Amino acid sequence: MLMKIYRLFSDIFSLLIFFFFLVRLTISKEKIDSILEKFLLRCKKRPVGNLVWINGVSIGEAKTGLIIADQIKRINPGSQILFSTSTITSYNLISKMNKDYILIYSPIDINFVIKKFIKYWKPSSAIFIESEIWPNIFYHLKKNSIKLTLFNARISRKSFFKWDKISFFSKQVFELIDGCFVQDNESINRFAKLGVKKIKKIENLKFLSEELTFDKNKFLSFKNQLKNKRVVTLFSSHENEEEIFLECHNILSKKINNLFFIIIPRHINRVKRITQEFTKKKQSFLLQTKGLIKIKKEKFMIVDTFGELGLFFKLSEVVIVGGSFCNKGGHNPIETRNFGCSLIFGPNMENFKDIRNKILKSKAGFEVKNLNQLIKQLSKILENKKLNIQTHKNFNRLCKVQSEKSKSILSSILKC
């Protein structure tokens, strides 16, 4: 009954939802193409044969979805993949990879939209990544006897409490999931309490992600300019984390005079706000653009381009995980592997708790609780080359072992 009410209300408010997306269009969070596809006002051509639908809402989930898609194609080269994602950034990233998949924007969870989506695409199975829970999608998949599996699934404590408060409704949603492969023990209990029947913990599939690439010519140019610098990078930073990094530099530079800090914000639209804050505090900086720049007396570089993480990891001695010094749960530390840099993260790594535990146990990175600990740990690494080398060797070894386990487990699951 509650599911029926939800479906009804989603249809009633569909026009309001559409206007909300038009507002997002005005602030560049949507494009005409993304809105048309999300509301199924335009559809790409469906190929003949069985179609596996994989949905990864944003960059992190999409990258994990690509791992699964690649494994499916490896096991069964004739498989057809319908790959959906929600953000413009992740869509653009995947489109540049030239994958042999049908790439679309994820449909909006409105009853009549999803009904049309399922009728048009007729997927033979559906795979959702991590923590995407959509009642209308799940309902229509089940109604059409389409198997739904969650891979690399997780549910944060905050999300669990929200769903648990409306358990009279959420159990009807979660029981529609046919299989749930989770990445941590906490998620096992949370999904079970919410109504999922078949749950199994597997190795985190992010260990199978492809190594980041970089422009070698740009790297050589930067390396030449930074040859006398000690480079530290903060990646995927959020609000207030840049201030911590700035304060860290101000204190540490009194001890190490050739420090150079690189800041890569999680969202490029925050660059203006960050530069205003640096200007206000009279701190000189450079902006990274698609063209090469010259470093003079500046101590900071703020990255205002997307897709160049590999370049800055390669240039760095130490890399700091953004989102771990605020209430964001951290970001993927595995991307820093194979670049010869040590890894530091803050106290909030809830989104990568299992990976965080493995890193600490393997002495493959460092956790700090506050600014003072960050300063001390950075100083320790920069003054001890052997520690730096051994730390990233441990990290590379950990990632190699875990990726082999993940690949074996994923292959066995997909072959069933």
Same domain, 284 and 349: yes
Q: Which residue has the higher pLDDT, 141 or 255?
A: 141
pLDDT, tens only, 35-50: 999 999 999 999 998 9
CATH, residue 302: 3.40.50.2000
Same domain, 154 and 300: no
Domain end call among 167, 184, 209: 209
* Total-model pTM: 0.85
Question: How far apart are the C-alpha atoms of 194 and 172, rounded to whole Å?
Answer: 9
pLDDT, tens only, 91-117: 998 998 889 999 999 999 999 999 999
Section 347-355 average pLDDT: 91
Same domain, 168 and 244: no
Q: Where are the beta strands (DSSP E) in 22-154?
A: 51-55, 80-85, 102-105, 125-129, 147-153
Q: Is residue 5 in some structural domain?
A: no
363 touches 391 (CB < 8 A): yes
Q: Please, which pLDDT band fits residue 242 given cuts at 50, 70 and 90?
A: very high
What percentage of residues in the chain have a pLDDT greater than 70?
99
Range of the domain at 170: 32-209
Question: How far apart are the C-alpha atoms of 335 and 93, rounded to whole Å?
Answer: 15
Q: Is residue 251 in some structural domain?
A: yes
Q: Which pair of tokens denotes residue 56?
A: 């990864």
Same domain, 109 and 245: no
Q: Is residue 2 in some structural domain?
A: no
Same domain, 111 and 174: yes
Same domain, 378 and 250: yes
105, β-bridge pairs: 85
Q: Is residue 170 in some structural domain?
A: yes
Q: Is residue 172 in some structural domain?
A: yes
What's the confidence (pLDDT) of residue 18?
Answer: 95
Domain end call among 209, 239, 259: 209
pLDDT, tens only, 182-219: 988 889 999 999 999 999 999 889 898 888 889 899 89
Q: What are phi and psi of 104, to 5 degrees?
A: -140, 170
- Start-to-end CA span in the chain (Å): 35
Q: Is residue 18 in some structural domain?
A: no
Q: Are strands 80-85 and 147-153 parallel, antiparallel or unpaired?
A: unpaired
Q: Please, which pLDDT band fits residue 156 given cuts at 50, 70 and 90?
A: confident
**Coil, strand, or helix at residue 159?**
helix
Q: Is residue 24 in some structural domain?
A: no
Nearest by Cα to 130 from 194, 79, 58:
58
Q: Is residue 127 over pLDDT 60?
A: yes
Same domain, 246 and 381: yes
Question: How far apart are the C-alpha atoms of 137 and 146, rounded to whole Å?
Answer: 11
Q: Is residue 414 in some structural domain?
A: no
pLDDT, tens only, 292-344: 567 778 889 999 888 889 999 999 999 999 999 998 999 999 999 989 999 99
Q: Please, which pLDDT band fits residue 290 given cuts at 50, 70 and 90?
A: low
Domain end call among 175, 209, 243: 209
Question: How far apart are the C-alpha atoms of 93 and 62, rounded to whole Å?
Answer: 9
Same domain, 229 and 378: yes
Total count of domains within the chain? 2
Section 76-96 average pLDDT: 92
Same domain, 50 and 128: yes
Q: Which pair of tokens denotes residue 348?
A: 């909030």
Same domain, 262 and 153: no
CATH, residue 106: 3.40.50.11720
Same domain, 254 and 204: no
Same domain, 302 and 250: yes
109 touches 10 (CB < 8 A): yes
Q: Is residue 413 over pLDDT 90?
A: no
